Chains A and B, each alone.
Chain A
Amino acid sequence: MADDVADRGLVIQLARLGDLVQSLPAIAALNAEAAVPALDLLCPAPFASMGSCVPGIGRVLAWEVERWRMWADRWSSAREETLTEIEAYLKMVIPKPYAAAFNLNQHSRSMLAATLLSRHVMGPGERGPLAKDLPPWAEYLRGVVRHRDRNRVHLADVFCGLCGVMPLGTAPHLHIPPTTLPVDLASIGATKGLWIAVIVGAGDMARCVPPEVWREWIRVFLDASRDGRVVLIGSEAECERGRAIQDGLSSLCLGRIWDATGRTTLMQTAALLSRCQWVIGSDTGPLHLGTAVGARAMGLYFARARVHETGPYGQGHWTCQAETSAYDLQDSELNTPPSARHVARWPIAASVRLIVDDQPKGCDGWTLWQSRLDHWGADYVAEGTLQDSGERREDVWRRLHRPISLKALSHEYVRA
């Protein structure tokens, strides 16, 4: 491993937990390229512990948002001191610029960070931190966000494209080191049973499955599986949601539920997920984290979540995708994006049956998709006859892909 950062590459992922997990295929693909130097990772400070579990990553640099906010606040009253302090901090963390930065985010902060910390940028910002035009894959991603409906290339594979590498066609795994759990959670996964992690919330309220739906799902699941066990996963802010789910369940059910909401660190959450056979939830960071630590995923995708864009990555995961008919929208709401509160029917029986009996079964308003991996990355196959339309993945790749080329020169956008 090259010790001098000047000979190393830096992967930049400053978005959310889910995005960091979706970056694993790109990191794996970069590591497989002979031309790519050894890699470090720059990610938000709260995810730094998890970053250190990513295979092929040497050092993890924590991006301390609060520190930058504090500096931004202070600049007006103490400019010189602030700039001097930032420079001192950056020099301490990154004594020299990296040989190359692989930037996976489109926002300005990420582009500026890439330019500041490296001599060469791949991905957004490669044409300069102020440039408005984006490289082809970044432009494609922007189009997906705007138009949404027809894309077939998964976000994790777009990340590969941004870095100039093809997906490997395998699902990368995080290596979670032995982690001490709270005593009452230590038995999770250690005893025989069908352990299911239920992701109780989501960062975006529109993607939060209502507590009463989860309550019903748990009741049906525990009825259907005699050895079923449920672990509630959520942040501290989601404790109330966890309690609301359990409220009204029989004591027999409650005896088979472990409530871990608000009680675990990110690494402990990852450890818990790795002890479960399945993880179920909407399109959230913990759902993707579950797939990265070996659980099979059952995604409930509704609101703005689309399976082809951000479905669980890997082989054999399932996703229930809400179609228009799943929603009950008032006339006045037809122009607003649907959210969890608009879902009229939830695929409770279908998802339970699939998990317990491995029997795919349709549900009105929802389609069921199974994930697979190939040379072009992730693909999702519909159970039944329905296939998504849109440009074929291989055509998109042929149109946009530019193999990686790392210039040895400093980029021309910054004066040394």
Chain B
Amino acid sequence: MNMFERNLAAIGLKDAALATALREARGGAFQITPARTGQPTAMVSGRSLHSAYDPLREAQAWATAQAAVCQPGEVLIVLGVGLLYHVEALRACVSRDTTIGSIVPDLNELHDVCMVRALDRWMNEVEWLWGPVERMAASLATTGRPLRFLNYAPAAAMHASVHADLERLIRQQVSARAGGQVHVAVVGPIYGGSLSIANYAAAALEQLGHRVTRIDHSLHQVSYDVMTGLKDPRHRATLQGRLADLLGQLTIARIAEDPPDVVLALAQAPMTLPLLEHLRKKNFMTAMWFVENYRHLTYWQQVAAGYDHWFVIQKQSCEHALRYAGAKQVSYLPMAAEPSLHCPVSLTPEEQTALGADVSFVGAGYANRRALLPRLLTNEWAFKLWGNEWDGATTSLGDVLQRGGARIDTKTCTKVFNGTKVNINLHSWTGEGLDPDGDCVNPRTFELAACGAFQIVDDRTLLPEVFTKEQVLTFSRPHDLVPLVRQWLRDEVGRKQMADAARQRVLAEHTYGHRMQQFLAQIGVNQPDRVGAILQGERQAGALLARSAPVPELKPVLAQFARQERVELKDVALRIRERGMTAVLSREDLLILMLDEYRMETRDLL
């Protein structure tokens, strides 16, 4: 029996279908050449998948590094097949009761390995996941244990899209099954657009049943504004910088007093790199939802390496830039709407007169808007302009500017959206015309849609992922705007159909509740031993009791908690201390108190 047949015979013992499929596969995925050590190594399109000198040694180094971060009880999923040196090394590196799975997106690759390497001794100690990605995801979901993805980059890069799909599907499953309560500290800015997003995110997390510590720095805006009034710019910059530093320290103090599982900061939150590094040293997990255009606001470069997870509203180039600046995990998380605020409302006749219009635009006076919006000044319809920072705009725009250019609140905004036949949504840009790099979708798109309001929005490359052309109308050339407004003003039924469809899409997929589910699921996938386990309810008293057989002494301690109650070290330690100064303690009690003393080192954050 040759090597291929021996390997297939071994596989067939565990997975006959896989053995059959491998026999039918044609192979030829890799170009096989000998390494200096004589073992086979593989290349694809001129790129080596393993060391050309010593693939075994390279694989051992990889496996040792991966094993160091794995936790007991996790299922290890290897991305990247190659010639499986790394999987074999990993199998040898971790205990036999650790489950290892290997994703096989292309059976031709596994066919090639079977031709050149003897796998029969260990390959049945690995779970081979193959076939459609949905089937692989479903199979992984049934493990009921935290999954840790280990990326063997040289081989995994060939199937990045399959892996991304797999991760997305698993994330959805984690999100759907989430039952545990995560404690999230939400840190907002002193002022600005992301302040309201921080509030929406915090509310959404609470609605999902998680515990939220809201660290709200907007309370200090008054002091910040007093400094803005200083005439000397050096004084202003120094004092505002010191206030931001102080608020960073305040954030730390709040976190130390009630340590969360995750710190979620919104763009512009006063968190510096030293402060974030300090939090990391103390083992806090931090995430940033950067709800800004990374090309416009560039301070992310200074803190990219500080956060454990980045969530951004742009894709490829943004993710690449952040990683280049030191970010470890970058994920796409688009904007959303808050349906309890952004919703259809009926306007009184007086409100309709004051706030309604044929055509409206709400937003600040960026250069592209100043250049494009005058096209809407015509006798054919009533156009109203709302928002601030329109100083110095053309006289004609000044004539339609409402309330003297004052900022309007969310409630008024919602009424304007509802009272307008055609809402113009033009993404901000500092040039004239339309943003040539326009990718991210602004919050207004989701808010207008959630209101059931009809909108015409400048085209964005990421828009088709969140709305179809039947839900939101787009334009991609400035001169197309006026004809579109003219056309759709006449079509009330068409407007309503699109607006209703857009609202349904938001309710189904684009609320802050959805975003927070996606946020936690992503972190859960990235950190299966921490947030992942909490999301799956593994830290609740009931689950812990069920698993406490090896240490039965824990049972009486855990039995004091409600089954659904999340139980952490500090909770158990507190119960022990509450028994009084002269209580008789067990050894387990003493050990828990000792561990809690070290946990409390987080209090020494300042």
* Chain A interface residues toward B at CB < 8 A: 65, 68-69, 71-84, 86-87, 107-109, 112-113, 115-116, 127-132, 412-415
* Neighbour of A79 across the interface among B283, B544, B581, B587, CB < 8 A: B544
Q: How far is the CA of A40 from the CA of B258 in the complex (A)?
A: 39
Q: How far is the CA of A131 from the CA of B283 in the complex (A)?
A: 30
B584 at interface by CB-CB < 8 Å: yes
- Could you tell me if B581 and A132 are in contact, using CB atoms closer than 8 angstroms? yes
**Interface size bracket, B side:** 35 or more
* Neighbour of A116 across the interface among B71, B548, B583, B594, CB < 8 A: B594
- Could you tell me if B597 and A414 are in contact, using CB atoms closer than 8 angstroms? no
- Could you tell me if B529 and A77 are in contact, using CB atoms closer than 8 angstroms? yes
- Could you tell me if A72 and B595 are in contact, using CB atoms closer than 8 angstroms? yes
Q: How far is the CA of A373 from the CA of B339 in the complex (A)?
A: 79
- Could you tell me if A116 and B590 are in contact, using CB atoms closer than 8 angstroms? yes
B583: A residues at CB distance < 8 A: 128, 130, 413
* Neighbour of B71 across the interface among A77, A112, A412, CB < 8 A: A77
How distant is B526 from chain A, measured CB to nearest CB, in Å?
A: 14
Q: How far is the CA of A87 from the CA of B547 in the complex (A)?
A: 18
Interface residues of B in 547-590 (CB under 8 A from A): 547-551, 554, 568-569, 577, 580-588, 590
Interface residues of B in 289-333 (CB under 8 A from A): none
- Could you tell me if B544 and A129 are in contact, using CB atoms closer than 8 angstroms? no
- Could you tell me if A109 and B585 are in contact, using CB atoms closer than 8 angstroms? no
Known interface pairs A72-B596, A77-B530. Does A131 touch B582 (Cβ–Cβ under 8 Å)? yes
Interface residues of B in 402-446 (CB under 8 A from A): none
* Neighbour of B550 across the interface among A80, A108, A413, A414, CB < 8 A: A80
Q: How far is the CA of A106 from the CA of B568 in the complex (A)?
A: 26
Q: How far is the CA of A237 from the CA of B146 in the complex (A)?
A: 40
How distant is B555 from chain A, measured CB to nearest CB, in Å?
A: 11
A87: B residues at CB distance < 8 A: 587, 591
Identify the 4 closest CB pairs spanning chains A and B, nearest first.
Answer: A72-B598, A72-B595, A80-B550, A77-B529
- Could you tell me if B73 and A78 are in contact, using CB atoms closer than 8 angstroms? yes
* Chain B interface residues toward A at CB < 8 A: 71-73, 283, 529-530, 533, 538-539, 544, 547-551, 554, 568-569, 577, 580-588, 590-599, 601
Known interface pairs A81-B72, A83-B554. Does A113 touch B586 (Cβ–Cβ under 8 Å)? no
Give the one of A68, A71, A112, A127 with max B CB within 10 A: A112
Q: How far is the CA of A268 from the CA of B587 in the complex (A)?
A: 39
B595: A residues at CB distance < 8 A: 68, 71-72, 75, 82
- Could you tell me if B591 and A129 are in contact, using CB atoms closer than 8 angstroms? no
A413: B residues at CB distance < 8 A: 582-585
How distant is A216 from chain B, measured CB to nearest CB, in Å?
A: 33
Q: How far is the CA of A87 from the CA of B592 in the complex (A)?
A: 12
Q: How far is the CA of A81 from the CA of B71 in the complex (A)?
A: 11
* 9 CB < 8 A contacts A-B: A68-B598, A77-B533, A78-B72, A78-B73, A83-B588, A108-B593, A116-B591, A127-B581, A414-B585
- Could you tell me if B283 and A73 are in contact, using CB atoms closer than 8 angstroms? yes
Q: How far is the CA of A112 from the CA of B568 in the complex (A)?
A: 20
- Could you tell me if B591 and A83 are in contact, using CB atoms closer than 8 angstroms? yes
B592: A residues at CB distance < 8 A: 75
Q: How far is the CA of A75 from the CA of B584 in the complex (A)?
A: 23
How distant is A178 from chain B, measured CB to nearest CB, in Å?
A: 37
Instruction: Give A71's nearest chain B residue, CB to CB.
Output: B595
Q: How far is the CA of A77 from the CA of B547 in the complex (A)?
A: 12
How distant is B261 from chain A, measured CB to nearest CB, in Å?
A: 9
How distant is B255 from chain A, measured CB to nearest CB, in Å?
A: 16
How distant is B381 from chain A, measured CB to nearest CB, in Å?
A: 61
- Could you tell me if A131 and B551 are in contact, using CB atoms closer than 8 angstroms? no
How distant is B587 from chain A, measured CB to nearest CB, in Å?
A: 7
How distant is A398 from chain B, measured CB to nearest CB, in Å?
A: 29
Instruction: Give B544's nearest chain A residue, CB to CB.
Output: A79
Known interface pairs A80-B554, A109-B597. Does A86 touch B591 (Cβ–Cβ under 8 Å)? yes
Give the one of A76, A127, A413 with max B CB within 10 A: A76
- Could you tell me if A130 and B581 are in contact, using CB atoms closer than 8 angstroms? yes
**Beyond known contacts A71-B598, A413-B582: 6 more, CB 8 A cutoff:** A79-B548, A108-B593, A112-B597, A129-B585, A130-B577, A415-B586
- Could you tell me if A79 and B554 are in contact, using CB atoms closer than 8 angstroms? yes
- Could you tell me if A83 and B584 are in contact, using CB atoms closer than 8 angstroms? no
